[in-house]
Amino acid sequence: MSWELFFTVLVIIVALGFDFTNGFHDAANAIATSVGTKALRVRTALILAAVCNFIGAFLGQEVAKTVQSITTPESGYSGLALVASALIGAITWNMITWYFGLPSSSSHALLGALVGAALVSGAFVDWSTVVDKVLIPMVTSPVAGLVLAFILMRIIVKIFGNRNPQKVGSGFRHAQTFSAAAMALGHGLQDAQKTMGIIVLVLISMSYLPADTGIPLWVVAASAGAISIGTAVGGKKIMRTLGRRVIDLDPARGFAAEATASSILYTTAFVFAAPVSTTQIITGSIMGAGVEKRVKSVRWNVGVNIMWAWLLTLPMSALVAALCHMLIMAIFGY
């Protein structure tokens, strides 16, 4: 095996490692509400999310192409160093926020790290893509989740408000099986594609793929497998934060949050090709469903902590990636 192939395979393994951490970090968000309302047991929810994450990864490639377009690495080891630095920066931030149980965004960790490494390396950064596909959706998608979940919950209350609470609760617990599955599909559609885009960047920079190529099937399958295995391994700390600490959810509000969040995930992927944050969207949707009941039902101090994690994710992951790139350059001199 040549050194070029060895280092290429090594960075791809690191990319799949990021995908794995994404699975236990972000996929918990897809099932937190169902676990919090006791609609699903933790083990059942994890298996459901793992399977749906795997399937969702095969549903599209537009988000992956957006990730590819953010930067154009130089060919050879310089491009490989850029991608490796971005992955290390994203994984580091994922592990920090996972340790503290903060539902930050793995998507924004990866994108911020990619930009940070690109800036240090002198690679081209497509700022129009960063603004239009990353920054604007970062602000608007959780707000959309809050507003739409509030509206959907108000409609549910109007329709079912005078009916037997136990029967209504039981019905929405069953409905949450489908809404949780839809969320997990959306997560696989969004987040596995980001890893696909990174792996394709690696292959292009090392001349194993032409620049205008599609995504090979083995890349899709490997990314889908890594994120689904990561999901099956766990994510209980973050699941607990979203499922219980933000608001005490009932099945109807859990369904409203999941249905809203999944619809936004599909819309942003298929219509706008924007790599949005599953974490931000479901958190905004949970808050919207809770605000419909009363403003004080939401534990806003928890929401503020989550917001700080969101705000810090892009710059901190970019900083870690930039430092990693400088270290790699100092050691190897590329």
Q: What is the pLDDT of residue 240?
A: 53
Bigger pLDDT: 264 or 36? Answer: 264
**pLDDT tens across 281-317, in order?**
888 898 888 887 766 656 666 666 667 777 889 999 9
Owning domain of residue 34: 3-332
Query: Which span out of 113-122, 207-216, 302-311 was modeled with the highest average pLDDT?
Result: 113-122
Per-residue pLDDT band at 21 (split at 50, 70, 90): confident
> Is the CB of residue 198 less than 8 Å from the CB of residue 15?
yes
Return the minimum-mean-pLDDT range out of 18-32, 50-64, 159-173.
18-32
> Which stretches within the chain are classed as H helix?
3-36, 42-56, 62-69, 77-99, 106-121, 127-129, 136-160, 165-187, 193-205, 217-233, 236-240, 251-270, 278-291, 300-332
> Is a pLDDT exceeding 70 seen at residue 46?
yes
Model-level pTM? Answer: 0.89
Given a cut of 60, is residue 132 above it in pLDDT? yes
**For the residues 310-329, what does the mean pLDDT come to?**
91
Asked if residue 288 lies in contact with residue 257, where contact means CB atoms within 8 angstroms, the answer is: yes
Question: What H or E segment, with its residue span, contains residue 71?
Answer: strand 71-72
Cβ-contact 22, 7 below 8 angstroms: no
Query: Considering only 67-81, 138-152, 238-252, 312-326, which range has the smallest mean pLDDT?
Result: 238-252
pLDDT of residue 287: 85
State what percent of residues in the chain have pLDDT above 70: 88
- Report the residue count for the chain: 334
pLDDT 10s digits, 61-108:
999 999 999 998 888 899 999 999 999 999 888 788 777 766 678 888
Q: Is 273 left (phi over 0), alpha (psi -120 to 50) or beta?
A: left
Encoded amino acid at 87, one letter? L
pLDDT at 243 over 50: no
User: For residues 88 and 21, is the Cβ–Cβ distance under 8 A?
Assistant: no
* Count of structural domains within the chain: 1
| In the chain, % of residues over pLDDT 90 | 51
